[in-house]
Amino acid sequence: AQSVAQPEDQVNVAEGNPLTVKCTYSVSGNPYLFWYVQYPNRGLQFLLKYITGDNLVKGSYGFEAEFNKSQTSFHLKKPSALVSDSALYFCAVRDGKGNAGKSTFGDGTTLTVKP
């Protein structure tokens, strides 16, 4: 079985400060990890993914995520937050061994960036 946890329902940061949105996962095989963002009244948009290779993955809008195998984590980060980054963020995981089509999503973390 695979699972993903986003331990924080809400993250608040000031504009210009660094931000981190946390994600931990559990899979039996090699993890495929994803971050998606959802703006109000919109569908989810792909931000970045880790499949293999460099543990630091860079994605859209200046976001990056660090894969940590020993801590089974894949935290989303950005060095300097913008008000426009305020949205709902979802982490997702899929077992790389087959299981195509069955990514498991976390419950989401609401990021609020204040001016």
Partner 1 sequence: NAGVTQTPKFQVLKTGQSMTLQCAQDMNHNSMYWYRQDPGMGLRLIYYSASEGTTDKGEVPNGYNVSRLNKREFSLRLESAAPSQTSVYFCASSDNTEGTDTQYFGPGTRLTVL
Write down the least CB distance from residue 111 to partner 1, Å. Answer: 15
Write down the least CB distance from residue 107 to partner 1, Å. Answer: 4
Whole-number Å distance between alpha carbons of 107 and 6: 7
Four-point Cα dihedral 92, 56, 15, 42, nearest 10: -30
Report, in this order, helix, strand and coil percent for the chain, each rounded to 5. Answer: 5, 50, 45
List interacting residues with partner 1 (CB under 8 A). Answer: 9, 32, 34, 36, 41-46, 49, 51, 90, 94, 100-103, 105-108
Write down the least CB distance from residue 82 to partner 1, Å. Answer: 22
Q: Which residue, 70 or 102, has its beta carbon nearer to partner 1? A: 102
Q: Which residue, 34 or 63, has its beta carbon nearer to partner 1? A: 34
Whole-number Å distance between alpha carbons of 83 and 58: 20
Q: Which residue, 9 or 54, has its beta carbon nearer to partner 1? A: 9
